[in-house]
């Protein structure tokens, strides 16, 4: 199926500017399609009191304005992360703001947090046909914006992801600073009822690692449930209008694994981990799950490999479960650290 997608739809879309292709999909995405991709109970994932049908999520950014939920929720994902949404409408950075590295199955984006704003987002959300669990990713330029948006979205879904790590705006990583995050986490924890994840940048040096370890400690202290690792990696890119952006896809897979490893080491099994970054197939997913991720999220691989990727990863995980003698996914999650504790 992937080969057909690559030779037809992808070949056509890749002739356009990357954002144009996305705009075309958006026009057709207001309706669900029949789902042929069934889930097996072996792939169920428990997160706190909630059961997710499978571990393959769609990462934030694909549907920033909640305009494509109906279509996306019929593609077999265990959950979708919709957003990131801001309180106010925002245009984002000037175009061009996406460049593909086709040979490396990677890309750089510098969208700059465009958003229709929370009011229109809620309307779009309520107009959708929803067939899977939905996380809403929120971002804010100030603490007040974050909290105001949080209070609104928590009425729509119990599942929220706080985006601490947008690489493309002045304030995008403000709340990844430990002091700012402490204030945010404390506020949110008082308002919280469902599940909250925070999304962090890839760790590339010692300073990042030290900061992330503090974030991990604060998550445990303030009852934040989990961490999604990682957002796109900040890089310079001349062909993008602002000259920089976030790298995603295969080129960041190892950064993702290292970051997951680090969080796992300091989380004392108290945090849920979601692996995001360069996951293209079931082997990639399995590597992250065995390290300790409970779920995996895809985005760039959906663009390169098409909508069948969800089914392929799920089927492949089922094969790997059997091949490696696991009864179900729950046995796999964090198996590596369980082994080293024996």
Q: Which residues bind ligand RRO (CB under 6 A)?
A: 61, 84, 109-113, 139, 163, 166-168, 231-232, 246
Q: Least CB distance from residue 321 to ligand RRO, whole Å?
A: 32
Residue 71 or residue 198: which is nearer to ligand RRO going by CB? 198
Residue 84 or residue 318: which is nearer to ligand RRO going by CB? 84
Q: Least CB distance from residue 103 to ligand RRO, whole Å?
A: 20
Residue 232 or residue 289: which is nearer to ligand RRO going by CB? 232
Contact call for residues 161 and 137 (beta carbons, < 8 A): yes
* DSSP letter, residue 251: G
Residue 84 or residue 282: which is nearer to ligand RRO going by CB? 84
Length of the chain: 342
Helix extents (H) in 2-117? 2-5, 11-13, 18-27, 69-72
Q: Least CB distance from residue 79 to ligand RRO, whole Å?
A: 17
Residue 137 or residue 318: which is nearer to ligand RRO going by CB? 137
Contact call for residues 85 and 65 (beta carbons, < 8 A): yes
Structural tokens at position 159 = 């599942």
Residue 76 or residue 83: which is nearer to ligand RRO going by CB? 83
Q: Least CB distance from residue 241 to ligand RRO, whole Å?
A: 12
Residue whose C-alpha is closest to residue 181's, from 140, 233, 136, 231: 140
Q: How many CB atoms lie within 10 A of CB 146?
A: 25
DSSP strand pairing (98-101 vs 106-109): antiparallel
Contact call for residues 326 and 332 (beta carbons, < 8 A): yes
How far is C-alpha 266 from the geometric centre of its chain's CA atoms?
A: 21
Residue keyed to tokens 């919280």: 192
Q: Least CB distance from residue 60 to ligand RRO, whole Å?
A: 6
Q: Least CB distance from residue 65 to ligand RRO, whole Å?
A: 11
Q: Can the peptide bond before residue 96 be classed as cis, meaning omega within 30 degrees of 0?
A: yes
Q: Can the peptide bond before residue 84 be classed as cis, meaning omega within 30 degrees of 0?
A: yes
Q: Least CB distance from residue 100 to ligand RRO, whole Å?
A: 14
Residue 84 or residue 310: which is nearer to ligand RRO going by CB? 84
- Ramachandran sector of residue 252 (left: φ over 0; alpha: ψ -120 to 50; beta: rest): alpha
């Amino acid at each position: 199926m992937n080969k057909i997608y690559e030779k037809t739809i992808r070949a056509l879309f890749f002739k356009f500017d990357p954002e144009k292709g996305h705009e075309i999909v958006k026009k057709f995405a207001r309706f669900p399609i029949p789902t042929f991709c069934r889930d097996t109970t072996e792939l169920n994932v428990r997160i706190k009191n909630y059961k997710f049908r499978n571990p393959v999520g769609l990462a934030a950014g694909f549907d920033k304005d909640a305009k494509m939920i109906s279509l996306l929720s019929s593609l077999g994902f265990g959950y979708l992360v919709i957003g990131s949404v801001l309180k106010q409408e925002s245009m984002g950075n000037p175009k061009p703001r996406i460049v593909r590295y086709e040979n490396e199955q990677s890309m750089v984006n510098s969208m700059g947090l465009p958003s229709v704003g929370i009011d229109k987002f809620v309307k779009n959300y309520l107009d959708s046909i929803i067939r899977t669990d939905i996380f809403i990713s929120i971002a804010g330029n100030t603490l007040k914006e974050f909290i105001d948006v949080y209070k609104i979205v928590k009425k729509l879904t119990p599942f929220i992801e706080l985006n601490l790590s947008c690489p493309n705006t002045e304030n995008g990583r403000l709340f990844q600073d430990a002091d700012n995050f402490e204030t945010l986490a404390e506020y949110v924890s008082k308002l919280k009822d469902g599940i909250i994840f925070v999304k962090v940048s890839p760790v590339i040096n010692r300073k990042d690692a030290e900061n992330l370890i503090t974030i991990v400690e604060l998550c445990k202290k303030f009852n934040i449930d989990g961490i999604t690792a990682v957002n796109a990696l900040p890089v310079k890119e001349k062909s993008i209008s602002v000259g920089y952006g976030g790298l995603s896809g295969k080129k960041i897979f190892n950064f993702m694994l290292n970051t997951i490893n680090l969080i796992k080491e300091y989380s004392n099994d108290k945090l849920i981990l979601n692996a995001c970054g360069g996951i293209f197939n079931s082997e990639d997913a399995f590597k992250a799950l065995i390290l300790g991720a409970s779920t995996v999220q895809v985005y760039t691989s959906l663009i390169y490999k098409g909508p069948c990727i969800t089914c392929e990863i799920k089927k492949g995980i089922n094969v790997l479960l059997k091949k490696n003698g696991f009864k179900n996914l729950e046995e796999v999650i964090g198996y590596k650290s369980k082994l080293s504790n024996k």
